[in-house]
Structure 1
Amino acid sequence: MRSAVTAIALSTLAATAAAHATFQDLWVAGKDEESTCARLPANNNPVTNVGSNDIRCNVGGTKAAASKCTVAAGDIVTVEMHQQPGDRDCSREALGGNHFGPVMAYLSKVPDAASADGSSSWFKIFELGYDASTKTWGNDLLNKNCGKQDVKIPSDIAPGDYLLRAETIALHTASQPGGAQFYMTCYQITVTGGGSANPPGVKFPGAYSANDPGIKVDIWGNGFSEYKIPGPAVYQG
């Protein structure tokens, strides 16, 4: 049975190799900022090497976006993912082809969001993994919500410039070494208000290992019932 399921998974991969995606747009407190502050990658292909600098903000992610988006501490931002650039058609899945996995968001405090290269520390502000009771993944909910995921900016963090890193990991071939697919985009934001908190963080690369249980994992196996999201714990504020 397990081999049959694995065969189905590999067949699905071959049939849906183009079903990749990109976090493209950002909403701030309900206002659509489109992709004005997003460092869009050159294409919708995933990053697969957790030891590469591309794991920070994707391939080409050091190139500045057109502007910065202003966000008040404590506000809700909404990251938005779609398969093709500029395609916000809700009739198509945000991330198709059974690319199941978690959704996460990180912040990195930087002197200037337009010039930061992502080498500074990152702290996690959101994560959504796997609900075994409903067999639902974080990025299943992206697909159900037209690619959108709400993320709250902590109300106590210090004002200033940040990179906001939105990420999902597709785990459909993650039982193989290097099989996990990482999709991420960095948004340039300026946080206003807030407090004085500067949470400790992790570095990319370094935060993930290729053998982490949430990265090298067989989600198709008969014994799969729970999932450990990689990276640090979510900052609680």
Structure 2
Amino acid sequence: MHLQFITAACLLASASAHSTFQQLWINGVDAGSSCARKPASNSPVTSISSPDLACNAGAAASAGVCQVKPGDDVTVEMHQQPGDRACRNEAIGGNHYGPVLVYMAAVSDAKSAVGSNADWFKVAHMGLVSNNPDYFGSRVLNDNCGHFTFKVPAGLAPGNYLIRAEVIALHVASGSGGAQFYPACFQVNVGGTGTVKPPTVKIPGVYKASDPGILINIYQDLTTYVLPGPTAYGQASPVPATTAWPTTATWNTALQPSTVPTVVPAAGATGIGKA
């Protein structure tokens, strides 16, 4: 009976609660969709060899390029439906548990760059944050109204970049091809005079269907989780906490806007906080 219940729940979850990264924040300033390559739908990419794995299917280039600097706090924001920013709705629901990952790629022109041709490096990831009980990064994302904040690497060389945010949903990943990928890209220009150029990978190409963080049964007690892809630049591999993960939001959800800005924010704008 228990197995039948889990199977039914997995099938139901696989047909609902799809989602996309839609908005960007810079040092707590809401850039909305002004530099987002919004996917054509909220459906996942399921092939690890598809060019869509880079920036999602039908994601047209944006007219805007957001300005960031090394050391800036950048926040990506995910929701299930286009334009919905309500915190009462889960960012990605339906037991779509799994890691949150962020990559960047230096490109000659952020408006015309093809994500599947770019050279990517990982800048942040949040996998199994606690194993007592098991709690994945996607649930922390839900606790924070879909927001995940990372730092632009210190000393990063200036120029145009793509930012790629991704959730990998593992609710039906116990069989090959079951993992669901929810990527989206944003266009930015990094200022400063840095010289850092981290080692890179190709997307697609960075993942294999047999990777232990992609082919996995999450309906068991996990003590650890192997994050897909390379280690985030300048960071140690995270170790799950052995105590319950706090579910209190670190993002100021009381100040979550309901509208979506479409214009790149002006320099010097002030923000509200971070997750």
Q: Sort the TM-score into its range (normalised by shorter chain).
A: over 0.9
Q: Give 1:42 deviation, angstroms.
A: 0.7
Tell me the distance in 1 between the aligned counterparts of 2:215 and 2:133: 22
Partner of 2:105: 108
Deviation, structure 1 residue 13: 3.1
Residue by residue, what CA displacement relative to the aligned partner does 1:129-156 show, whole Å, maximum 9, x if unpaired? 0021342110100100000001110121
1:51-82 Cα shifts (integer Å, max 9, x gaps): 11111111023x21131111111100000000
> Which whole-Å CA distance do the structure 2 matches of 1:161 and 1:100 have between them?
32
2:6, 2:172 → 1: CA distance? 8
Equivalence for 1:24 = 22
Q: Provide Cα deviations, 1:174-229, integer angstroms capped at 9, x if missing partner.
A: 0011000000100000011151011111001110001111001111135x332101
Specify the code of the residue in structure 2 equivalent to 1:196.
T
Structure 1 counterpart of 2:76: 79
In structure 2, the partner of 1:184 is 183
Q: 1:226 to 1:70 in 2, by over 3 A?
A: same
Judge conservation of contact 1:73–1:194 (CA < 8 Å) in 2.
no
What residue identity is the alignment partner of 1:234? A
SS in 1 for 2:32: coil
In the TM superposition, 1:36-75 aligns within 5 A as 36-61=34-59, 63-75=60-72
How many equivalent pairs are there? 232
Corresponding position of 2:2? 4
Q: Which residue of 1 aligns with 2:208?
A: 209
Normalized against structure 2, the TM-score is what? 0.81
Structure 1, gaps ≥5 residues long? none
Preserved CA contact (<8 Å) 1:159 1:193: yes
Report deviation, 1:36.
Answer: 1.1
Q: Hey, what's the Cα distance between the residues in 2 that align with 1:212 and 1:91?
A: 34
- The range that moved more, 125-134 or 78-87, is 125-134
- Aligned residues: percent identity? 50
Unaligned runs of 5+ in 2: 236-275
Whole-angstrom distance in 1 between the partners of 2:193 and 2:124: 18
CA RMSD of aligned residues (A): 1.4
CA contact (8 A) 1:100 1:139 kept: yes
Are residues 194 and 81 of structure 1, via their aligned partners in 2, closer, same or farther at CA, if it must alter by over 3 Å? farther
**What is the one-letter code of the residue matched to 1:95?**
I
Does structure 2 retain, via aligned residues, the 8 Å contact 1:74–1:194?
no
Match of 2:165 in 1: 166
**Alpha-carbon distance change, 95 to 194 in structure 1, aligned in 2, over 3 angstroms:** farther
Contact 1:72 1:194 in 2 (8 A): no
Contact 1:64 1:114 in 2 (8 A): yes
Q: Is contact 1:155–1:194 with CA below 8 Å preserved after alignment?
A: no
**Is 1:151 paired with 2:155?**
no
Instruction: Report runs of 4+ in structure 1 exceeding 4 Å deviation.
Output: none
Deviations 1:150-174 (A, max 9, x none): 1110121101100000001000000
Deviation at 1:15, TM superposition (A): 2.8
Q: Tell me the TM-score normalized by structure 1.
A: 0.94
Task: Please give the alpha-carbon distance, in whole angstroms, between the structure 1 residues aligned to 2:63 and 2:105.
Answer: 19
